[in-house]
């Protein structure tokens, strides 16, 4: 959805803008991300260590690809999304993720 909606991409990227509707939209997006991660974890489809706090940075990475100048930037994001989704899936023999607290 954000691929074709610049306003939504800006909303997701720039958290400094405030407003009643905007705050409500952010809460809704956060709630849906939490539910999505919980459901994926319950179904065994999400790799160990991934949390709902990982979703916003992942979305920001995809958004950065959408913003690239060039011939096909608006479609290139699909390739990178597929790579990211494969990395999020639970699979045997995956390298354990570093703790978010140990990164940075």
- Nearest partner of 59 among 43, 36, 40, 39, judged by Cα: 36
Instruction: Give the distance, in angstroms, between the CA of residue 4 and the centroid of all CA atoms in the same chain.
Output: 16
pLDDT for position 22:
77
Q: Record the pTM.
A: 0.69
Retrieve residue 24's tokens: 């409500």
Of the ranges 43-47, 64-68, 73-77, 96-100, which is most confident?
43-47
Task: Give the pLDDT confidence of 79-90 residue by residue, as tens digits.
Answer: 889 999 999 999
Task: Give the pLDDT confidence of 9-67 residue by residue, as tens digits.
Answer: 666 665 555 667 777 888 898 899 999 999 999 999 999 999 998 998 999 898 888 88
User: Residue ranges per domain, the chain?
Assistant: 2-91
Give the count of alpha carbons within 13 A of 88, CB side only: 17
Integer Cα distance of 13 and 15 in angstroms: 6
pLDDT for position 58:
93
Longest dimension (CA), the chain: 45
């Amino acid at each position: 959805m954000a691929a074709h909606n610049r306003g939504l991409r800006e909303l997701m990227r720039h958290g400094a803008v405030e407003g009643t509707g905007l705050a409500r939209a952010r809460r809704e997006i956060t709630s849906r991300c939490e539910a999505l991660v919980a459901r994926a974890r319950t179904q065994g489809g999400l790799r160990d260590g991934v949390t709902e706090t990982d979703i916003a940075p992942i979305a920001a990475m995809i958004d950065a690809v959408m913003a690239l100048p060039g011939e096909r930037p608006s479609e290139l994001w699909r390739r990178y999304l597929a790579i990211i989704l494969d990395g999020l899936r639970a699979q045997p023999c995956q390298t354990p993720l570093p703790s978010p607290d140990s990164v940075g």
